[in-house]
Amino acid sequence: MQTVGRFAPSPSGRMHLGNVLCALLAWLSARHQNGAFLLRIEDLDAMRCPRSYADLIMDDLRWLGLDWDGEVPYQSERSEIYEKYENILREKGLLYPCFCSRAALHAASAPHLSDGRVLYAGTCRGLSPEEITEKRKKRAPATRVRVPDEEISFTDGVFGEYRENLAEECGDFIVRRSDGVFAYQLAVTVDDGLSGVTEVVRGSDLISSTPRQIWLYRLFGFEPPHFIHIPLLCDVDGRRLSKRDEDLDLGLLRERFSPEQVIGALAFAAGLTESAAPVSVHDDPDRPFQPRTFLFAAKAAPGYATAKRIIQLL
């Protein structure tokens, strides 16, 4: 079976080094298996994701030498497809409207888990048709999917065995927001499933989303891909990079460095190469890049590199 990898950025800002590392590893892993590599623009929240950022991401990827196959889908244009899959869940009797406000969901009385996440208490799970009609007059509901009281597990390429009981650690989750926008969990599963993605390389901040996505994969009848969650690049003070860290965004880096310098530093920091010497992603296909080496290194030392260290390498 051919490997199909992908990079699925949300264009809410310019790419930073962490996004580049993710794109680089996803690309290397797929291309080294002679696989296809897809790009998808995750602009569900169209207000926060202007087209100009999507254009810049594509321009930055080309500048780095990371190419992709086929057309680039924009999630903001795929609502009809997501609706079809929402209906599959509805026909299974798994959806219900939720009228809880954000404040109510995060209230002190709501069950909070040790990692800070809030467990949905099931407040709207058993509303009667009359109650729903009444509540609809006052407020547009979000849509939640019921989750099973069973452990969902997968073997992550970096973190190994990962398991979660959705009923105990997450609760029924939102597949469509009250403003009609589809939730990331539903859109990402439909898109990866429909495009035959076999390998997902992405930041470890999304590892806890994966059991929810596996639940949706099952309901939609798709085969889940192999998941590889890479530890996030941190800032000097241990904070994860964000798109607000403008000094690390590609706009500035492009003014100061060549693509080969950026790739060389990232590849070295990720344990892929012996030195941080400038290198192109197309150089010497047999040697420099061994994504698996990185994956083992990252597993052994989470928090493996700070962005500052990488900048110093440049």
d(CA 271, CA 294): 5
Closer Cβ to ligand GLU, 24 or 276, answer by number: 24
| SS3 state at 173 | strand
DSSP-derived secondary structure letter, 165: E
Residue 115 burial (CB count, 10 A): 7
- 243 part of the active site: yes
Q: Which residues bind ligand GLU (CB under 6 A)?
A: 8-10, 42, 188, 202, 206
d(CA 139, CA 218): 31
Distance of CA 66 to the CA centre of its chain: 18
Closer Cβ to ligand GLU, 10 or 306, answer by number: 10
User: CB 228 → ligand GLU: shortest distance, Å?
Assistant: 11
Closer Cβ to ligand GLU, 184 or 268, answer by number: 184
User: CB 137 → ligand GLU: shortest distance, Å?
Assistant: 35
Q: Which residue has the tokens 């990402």?
A: 188
Closer Cβ to ligand GLU, 8 or 305, answer by number: 8
Catalytic one of 135, 137, 138, 243: 243
User: CB 202 → ligand GLU: shortest distance, Å?
Assistant: 4
User: CB 61 → ligand GLU: shortest distance, Å?
Assistant: 13
Residue 131 burial (CB count, 10 A): 12
Tokens of 121: 């208490």
Closer Cβ to ligand GLU, 29 or 273, answer by number: 29
8 Å CB contact between 39 and 72: yes
Tokens of 172: 């029924």
d(CA 125, CA 100): 11
User: CB 184 → ligand GLU: shortest distance, Å?
Assistant: 7
What residues act catalytically? 243
